[in-house]
Amino acid sequence: MNEDSSRKTLKSEWSLLVESFIDDSELDVKKKKLKLKGLSLDFVVDQIKDLSALKKSLYQKIEKIKEQIESSQIILENLELVGSDTTEIILQIDQLHVEGEKLSADLLRLDQKLKKMRSLEDQF
């Protein structure tokens, strides 16, 4: 009987977490408030910590890419000064830019999720 109760609680927590990532305009406010009753503050706090750690990791990756781009640009300038072929380094810089843009988009989505979890935390 206790396992059944735990499963229901866990199921409601996960469904609320999934719904928290959906645009609020798509949710019925009363339904959201009812589901919130089954959600524990500890669960929300843990999710915020996990998302914050992921955000920090993304920032570190973006910083590494920025450093690689700066280093590659210096190499590019030097190659241009001596008249060497710059095709390969330009492709490398372009790839780094694309990777950085993907990480930035991931960071924006993560920020939205984090805001929603913090708003859930404020409701407790």
pLDDT of residue 50: 92
pLDDT of residue 95: 97
pLDDT of residue 15: 62
Query: Smallest Cα–Cα separation from 117: which of 6, 29, 43, 10?
Result: 43
pLDDT tens per residue, the chain (124 residues)?
Answer: 466 666 666 666 666 666 665 555 544 554 455 455 566 778 888 889 999 999 999 999 999 999 999 999 999 999 999 999 999 999 999 999 999 999 999 999 999 999 988 888 777 6
